[in-house]
Amino acid sequence: MDLVHQTSSVRFFADYERSIGNYLVDADGNRLLDMYMQVSSLCLGYNHPDLVEAISDPRFITAAVSRPALGSFPRTDFADILKKSLISIAPKGLSAVQTMMCGSSSNEHALKTAFMWYQAQKRGGPPTTKYLESSMRHELPGTPNVTVLSFEGAFHGRTLAMLSTTRSKPIHKVDLPAFQWPVAKFPRYKYPLSENVEYNKKEDDDCLAMVESIIKKQKKAKRDVAALIVEPIQSEGGDHHGSAAFFQGLRDITKKHGVVFIVDEVQTGGGGTGSFWAHDTWNLQSPPDIVTFSKKYMTGGYFYADHLRIKEPYRIYNTWMGEPTKVILLEKAIEVIKRDNLLKNVRNIGEELQKGLRDLEQKYSSKMHNVRGLASFCAFDIRNASKRDEFLAKALSKGLNLGGCGDAAIRFRPALIFGKKHLEIALDILDKSMKDL
């Protein structure tokens, strides 16, 4: 394998034909309970029968072998497919969607949309000749010094621009040129939340003050913050949560300063938090300007507010502009999620998972801490990275596949079909692995 493909990050090879539901079978035939689900990217587990059936949908077959350039020659039924899938679960207040293929390209095009809108506002209309010409030389005013504000610990993708907003780990960033874009602190809470209310509120306040101060400073330096991008839960960076009050504050500050508020739900979207969108729990007075997604939604893309629609052709464009087969599969997945009440299942199981983890935290208080989660989107911390990796290996050897993130966190990303019997098995393996550690 190494002869033909990059393999240094491979954990194990898997037999996907024999994998089913919550169980992933490795190359040696070991059946593993999977709470990582391909880096949080499978909503219905392995080989779900309804999805298998959707493969023989004539629309799927045609879209797979006669793939359209959606920006130029869309399928006659594409609006219908979108209505039955993405539009049916659109975040409150946002009704337009643009499909893309992965998380990075979704975030890239969200940023592009924000920059184009910001410049149009500033100019008072579409780009004039002066702007068009200077952009070909990468000079002002056509190539603006606009910036995007992101957070310490953030992960927004691995293209060069998204890496400029990603601040989780140096191994992603080192040796690569970057845009000089500003960065703010993201809250780091103490757990349990109920015992650290004051400390955590101060975290929120400090971070919000820093955000507003950066926006002002950048404007003064003529390096305006056109957009702010943030994850509801910083996942790759270590499962760091922000409170509803923190995000309400971000919405207020961005609105006040005319900054496009982008919520990156690439990892949190798709039901794991007990809702289609993690930001549903924030009770915002007005919706985010853009919400990006990928992973569990199979197709990438972003929802955006009406005022952000770019009217000139070929500005938000590329050959494929997404992948209709993924949207057709998603249509079926959403049908299944609704039919089988899977979001309710996730909320119930999530509550029990969190309770189980807290019990373990009490039992092994010197070894694990900071149990946290939103429904089944859970995590806890271990002393350091090497102990964490040791724990991951122990759990794997006992039949449980988990993910790591951040410095020393274990993250849980079960499929939406994860049930009671799976939870029992998982908690038992966690207990034994922790005892061994």
The set of catalytic residues is 155, 264, 295, 319
Q: What's the token pair of residue 222?
A: 């003529």
Asked if residues 415 and 44 have their Cβ atoms less than 8 Å apart, the reply is: yes
Q: Give residues with Cβ within 8 angstroms of 413, minimum separation 6.
A: 35, 36, 37, 39, 40, 272, 377, 403
272 close to 299: Cβ distance less than 8 angstroms: no
309 vs 344, which CB is nearer to a copy of itself? 309
Q: Which residues contact 87 (CB under 8 A, 6 or more apart)?
A: 95, 97
What span, in angstroms and rounded, lies between the C-alpha atoms of 284 and 289?
12
Six-digit token string for 288:
């985010």
Question: From CA 329, how far away is CA 333, in angstroms rounded?
Answer: 6
In whole angstroms, give the CA distance from residue 234 to residue 153: 7
Structure tokens at 179: 């845009």
Q: How far is the CB of 395 from a copy of itself (least distance, A)?
A: 15
Say which residues have a Cβ less than 8 Å from residue 9's Cβ, sequence separation at least 6: none
Do 122 and 91 form a contact (C-beta atoms < 8 A)? no
By C-beta, is 22 or 200 nearer to a copy of itself?
Answer: 22
Q: For a copy of itself, which is the closer residue by CB, 103 or 288?
A: 103
Closest approach, Cβ 351 to a copy of itself, in A, equals: 28
Q: Which amino acid is at 226?
A: A
Interatomic CA distance for residues 374 and 354, integer angstroms: 9
Instruction: Give the closest residue to 230 by CA, choosing from 263, 259, 258.
Output: 263
Q: Which of 66, 59, 113 is nearest to 84 (CA)?
A: 59
- Parallel, antiparallel, or unpaired for β 147-151 and 233-234? unpaired
Q: Whole-angstrom Cα distance, residue 264 to residue 267?
A: 8
Residues 375 and 273: beta-carbon distance below 8 Å: yes
